[in-house]
A and B are shown apart, each in its own frame.
Chain A
Amino acid sequence: MKKTILNRRNLYILAVLLVFAGGLAIRFYDLTNPPLDFNPVRQIHSAIIARGFYVFLPNSHLQGLERDKAWSFSSELWIEPPILEYLSAWTYVLAGGVYLWIARIYSIIFWTLGGWALFRMMHLLSGKTGALAALIFYLFLPFGILASRSFQPDPLMVSAMIFGLWMLLRWRANPSWKNAVLTGLLCGLAILVKQVAVFFVAGGMAAVFFTDPGFKASFRSPKIWCMGILALLPAVGYNIYGLFISGFLKTQYSLRFFPSLFIDPLFYYRWASKINLTTGWIPVLLAVTGILFLTERSKKWFLAALFGSYVVYGLGFAYHISTHDYYQEPLIPLAAIGIGVVAEAFISQLDLSSGRWKLAFLSLVVTAGSVFTLFSLRNEMKRDDYRDQPELWTRIGHELNYGIPAVWGLFDDYGVRLMYWGLTMPAVWETSGDVYMRGLAGQQAAQKDILTLFAGKRYFIVTDFTELDNQPDLKKVLETFPVYEKGNGYIIYDIDPPGGRSVKP
């Protein structure tokens, strides 16, 4: 047989490289757009913390008011250890300024590295086709692309989780001390970055330990104890520090667990809708059937345990799973694994002996689907341009005299734009969603007269007009005050005008 450069192996390597290149290219597109495209509240929260760190690093260029405000606002409550924030702050020093796209680059790199780990893991779990299919899903899923560009701990958490699970499977194949320690450290990193990773790490570990060495043998295995301890130690240390030493974590564990939702059918529908909007439930269902196509018992249990962990995780964070799209990020590698397994099984059943046209056709369909998906997303990214936002909110912050006297706001982003660029800390008016969440947790919001709440404040900013419609009493009161400024997506009322209200109630 004549050897050509276009042999099967080279074509495979080329395909893998193209998938990585495509994944990186789409993520690096529109890099400098302010991070308001995806969960702006959470991203700016991290940006504020990072800028606060930067103030105290050597060669920080922040001066005067900006320096003072950057520091005072960075007292934003920590939820997870600010690893990405700290890393970004140090990179600001190297770059000579606060550039939000630096964190974006870190997230992209973490996510892409996670892709590499997933690809390697799929070779252990399934095969070459499965590895490629999983990688395509993981790197080309539109939601994953947007999520993996964000200034949040989630891309690093997902990546570390995949590395941890990959090492776990490597340990299963070769139960050496080196693999055990690496598994423990990487799983520990994932849980430290964001504690929700514990569900997936624990699920994966339980499946591997209890199906292969067995329940009793696992308890007697020092390597397994080592893995468990290393996985839990960093997060336990962080919690002890946060809860008992510095105390900043004390308020972070309230409003998280809502068992009352378990008996509400709408909760499950909302959860399913969230899955549909992020990973798409068709790929997820397909991925679940992947359990069937794994031949080894322990691998079957491994994938089943990961999906089981996702369900427990969803029930554990019932409110967040059905309202916060980024809570679906850990589902992406799970779905990718399942899809990879199904793809491997599908290809193995194709009768390729009657010519390779089926394989070529399949490749063509996947390529066309990928290209269309990436280009459609690229168009969306191009359309969502937030480059005018920093200047706008910087100006508004300046005009409102940085919140002296104080400012109220009904925001679609909890006022983070005004905080970050406008250096103004507003008082945030509760949304009906906030009230609902408190109600779910059994907390009652204080009912006060709107005008009483306005006392001592000068301006009221509205950026969430749907929410304003949900609060007709507030809307009615605000309409009696003169408009200070109105622009695209915002309106500012002067709620303490020198001449009194423009419309008498």
Chain B
Amino acid sequence: MQEKATKITYWAAFALLVGLGLLIRFYDLNDAPLDFNATRQLHSALIARGMYYQDLQSAPQWQRQVAVDQWQAEGLIEPPIMEILSAATYRVIGAEKLIVPRIYSILFWLLGGLFLFSLVKDLCGRWAALISLAYFLVLPFGAIASRAFQPDPLLTAMIAAAWWAMFRWQRKQTWSRLVTAGIVAGLAIFVKTTAVFFVGPAWAVLILTDMGLRKAVFNRQVWTAAVLTLLPYGLFLFYGLYISGKLVSQFSLRFFPSLWFDPVWYLQWNGQIRSTIGLEWFLVALVGTAVIQNKTYRAMFLAVWLGYFLYGLTLPFHIYTHDYYQEPLIPLVALGLGGAAGMVFDHLPSPRWMSAAVITLAVAFGITILGWDVRVTLARANFSNEVIFWQKLGDHLGHERKVVGLTQDYGYRLSYFGWVENTNFLTSNDVNYRELGGIQVDEDAAFKSAVSGKDIFVVTLFSELDRQPKVKSLLYNHYPILEQKSDYVIFDLNHPTSPLN
């Protein structure tokens, strides 16, 4: 009787968490995706729109052309899975709606949470699994990040799924479980290569602690797992490098070992962890992983932590500047918290009812506040005026003029909402980034090259123009102003007042 009541309470708590996770993510669903890494989201939005418009006979010819051109102009970074899926759904519903990829991301994230829940339930106990799930679904950064039109929510879900599948295989080493684990791990890396840091160490340590190096080398299942894990991305890499050639430029400006010797970089990385994951959670999870009772799984997940540190060292610029590079850490921290919670729950003092009451109250308080935080963040960010501004500016500029500019999000807002193909002039951050990679930027030459063959130069990022006094002077001294308003200025590049030296 009591067991039945506990079971009902347990699954009610589970349902409540899933419900809350969905509720906070579905809030403000229709707002433009400018709340989180707008550049990256609009990159995907442009690709998906291009895919959709290429066959959309009902659209005006100019619009189809712009959409396809914008799509083709986007570089290939990862396989456009989310984009293909979104474009297909646009076709089904007969309209391009940005809520479509948002919903997909939310559902993928939720799926990842379910895999994580199942894994932690078997690894650390059923109540610990609820703690992991609560963190995974209600962490404000995760909630916002998991609404984004990026591959990362799918990547995070696939990483969690891969751990789950590996764990199942280790417990019962059948071929079907092995193939499942290999395929899921392979798909995780296929979605975004960085998954290799989270999947690779888990595989390696799981196999080595389970069967040892010598046995592993001669084990057919191990070789099959390795092939399945590496094959999908291997094929994509081959296609990108040797067939389409679109991946050739993607591997430059990623690796900056000079940063390893800069103590400030470590503080900045720490700052990124603090603002996304929460340093307290991070530390507790690290300790929580170390106290997982089963030696094999403890080693497996400590190896994943090591993988995370290697990931940061390999992508040192991105790890401290791009918050979404912390997303794969979320399931790992959630799992570590499960480890810590499992240990605490195993040793709760009596009376149990009092312990249960205090912990339930504390967790309920925590998730309510976190959930409300997400709601407040989303309610505060309203981008409807932004969309109108860029649409109007796009119409004003015309959709066929050749535009260069210094505008928000590398010109993506103008591209997407304004339907204007444009190239973005280098920002001061771009210059710093290149210099960090050992590339010196000649501002004069860069400016000449950027304006060559263009009709207009549009500025909406005035602070950025102020940071580049040379470019500002070149614009104001050599080109007439077509129009100036409080939020933009347009220079006529076709009728310079004096020639550039």
Contacts and interface: CB of A to CB of B under 8 A. Distances in A.
A217 to B, nearest CB: 26
A373 B348 CA distance: 30
Interface string A228-242: 000000000000000
A362 B267 contact: no
A375 interface: yes
B266 A372 contact: yes
A283 B290 CA distance: 20
Given A281-B369, A350-B291, 15 more contacts: A273-B369, A280-B280, A282-B281, A285-B363, A288-B358, A289-B359, A292-B358, A349-B343, A349-B347, A361-B290, A365-B286, A372-B266, A372-B267, A376-B271, A379-B264
B365 A285 contact: yes
14 contacts: A269-B372, A272-B369, A273-B373, A276-B369, A280-B280, A281-B369, A285-B362, A285-B365, A288-B362, A346-B344, A366-B283, A369-B283, A372-B279, A376-B267
A282 B358 contact: no
A269 B358 CA distance: 20
B349 interface: yes
Contacts of A283: 280
B278 interface: yes
10 cross-chain pairs, A with B, having the tightest CB-CB distances, nearest first: A285-B362, A372-B270, A369-B283, A282-B280, A349-B347, A272-B369, A292-B355, A361-B290, A365-B286, A365-B283
B343 A282 contact: no
Contacts of B271: 376
B231 to A, nearest CB: 36
B291 A376 contact: no
A295 interface: yes
A365 B287 contact: yes
Contacts of B363: 285
A350 B373 CA distance: 35
B358 A291 contact: yes
A415 B372 CA distance: 35
B349 A293 contact: yes
Nearest to B269: A372
B274 interface: yes
A291 B354 CA distance: 10
B349 A376 contact: no
B80 interface: no
A375 B267 contact: yes
Nearest to A292: B355
Contacts of A349: 343, 346-347
Contacts of B346: 349
Given A291-B358, A365-B286, A372-B267, A282 B366 contact: yes
B292 to A, nearest CB: 11
Interface in B73-128: none
Dominant SS at the B interface? helix
Interface string B339-352: 00001101111000
A324 interface: no
Interface in B438-488: none
Interface in A330-375: 345-346, 349-350, 358, 361-362, 365-366, 369, 372-373, 375
Interface in A375-408: 375-376, 379
Q: Find the residue from A276, A346, A373 having the highest chain B CB count within 10 A.
A: A346
Contacts of B266: 372
B354 A285 contact: no
Contacts, number: 67
B20 to A, nearest CB: 16
Interface string B280-296: 11010011001100000
Contacts of B278: 282
Contacts of A365: 283, 286-287
Interface of A: 269, 272-273, 276, 280-283, 285, 288-289, 291-293, 295, 345-346, 349-350, 358, 361-362, 365-366, 369, 372-373, 375-376, 379
Interface string B391-426: 000000000000000000000000000000000000
A328 to B, nearest CB: 15
A46 to B, nearest CB: 32
B267 A292 contact: no
A293 B263 CA distance: 39
A289 B358 contact: yes
Nearest to A293: B349
A373 B279 contact: yes
Interface of B: 263-264, 266-267, 270-271, 274, 278-281, 283, 286-287, 290-291, 343-344, 346-349, 354-355, 358-359, 362-363, 365-366, 369, 372-373
Nearest to A379: B267
B274 to A, nearest CB: 7
Nearest to B273: A372
Nearest to B266: A372
Contact of B366 (A281, A295, A350, A366): A281
Contacts of A291: 358
B62 to A, nearest CB: 41
Nearest to B281: A282
Nearest to B340: A346
Nearest to B369: A272
B346 to A, nearest CB: 8
Contacts of A362: 287, 290
A376 B362 contact: no
A230 to B, nearest CB: 34
Nearest to A361: B290
A292 B348 contact: yes
A99 B274 CA distance: 36
A299 to B, nearest CB: 12
A375 to B, nearest CB: 6
A285 B366 contact: yes
Nearest to A272: B369
Contacts of B281: 282
A285 B368 CA distance: 13
Contacts of A276: 369
Contact of A292 (B274, B354, B373): B354
A372 B283 CA distance: 11
Contacts of A289: 344, 358-359, 362
A276 B373 CA distance: 11
Contacts of A280: 280
Contact of B349 (A281, A295, A366): A295
B369 A358 contact: no
A283 B343 CA distance: 18
A273 B263 CA distance: 32
A292 B283 contact: no
Nearest to B351: A292
A50 B349 CA distance: 51
Contacts of B358: 288-289, 291-292
Contacts of A350: 291
Contacts of A366: 283
B343 A358 contact: no
Given A283-B280, A289-B358, A365-B283, A269 B349 contact: no
Nearest to A369: B283
A369 B343 contact: no
B379 to A, nearest CB: 13
A269 B279 contact: no
Nearest to A368: B283
A411 to B, nearest CB: 26
A269 B369 contact: yes
Contacts of B349: 292-293, 295
A379 to B, nearest CB: 6
A350 B274 CA distance: 27
A418 to B, nearest CB: 30
Q: Find the residue from B267, B274, B343 having the highest chain A CB count within 10 A.
A: B267
A369 B279 contact: yes
A291 B357 CA distance: 12
B128 to A, nearest CB: 14
Nearest to B346: A349
Contacts of B263: 375
Contact of B347 (A295, A345, A358, A369): A345
Nearest to A345: B347
Given A292-B348, A292-B354, A369-B283, A376 B270 contact: yes
